[in-house]
A = this chain, B = another copy of it.
Amino acid sequence: MDVVLDNTDLQILERMQANARISNADLARELNMAPSAVLERVKKLEQKKVIQGYTTQINPATVQQKLLAFIFIRSSEGFTCSSNTAQALAAIPEVQEVHHIAGEDCYLIKVRTADSSSLMNLMRQQLQKIPNIASTKTTIVLETVKEQQQLVIPKI
């Protein structure tokens, strides 16, 4: 069940993380391997779900998403953090991330909307409808200095 990755796999992952659209031919050249061999490895990394997908990073402001906020969500007392709550949160498209966290607060979510009034609408029309939410604490992001979902690939 445990996935084992050798150095070649890690090299592939590192390069594809930096540029998902690198051609298989270029990748093969950088690794001094045949394209067919590299392709075979990439396919296996996909099968093994090491690679979960390929996404395009879009400048949020250009698609009218200028507001970013983190919201701490506390469940009602007497209710354990049900996965129903998490699922309901995750089903909202503007909710990018849902994390179950340690401590008193139950969930931390990351939300992206057009502006503060759309965030207000979202909270009123979507969050308030979810059962067993006792309170929310919102943190508005003024400026994002860094935002990379890139991992540190280990070296062997």
Nearest neighbor of A148 in chain B, beta-carbon distance: B96
A57: chain B residues at CB < 8 Å are: 51-55, 149
Say which size band chain A's interface belongs to.
Answer: 35 or more
Nearest neighbor of A153 in chain B, beta-carbon distance: B63
Q: Does A127 contact B (CB under 8 A)?
A: no
Would you give the shortest CB distance from A9 to chain B, in whole angstroms? 9
- Using a CB-CB cutoff of 8 Å, which residues 41-61 of chain A contact chain B? 48-60
Would you give the shortest CB distance from A56 to chain B, in whole angstroms? 4
Q: Can you give 8 contacting A-B residue pairs, CB < 8 Å?
A: A17-B55, A21-B54, A50-B62, A70-B101, A87-B145, A99-B147, A100-B144, A103-B139
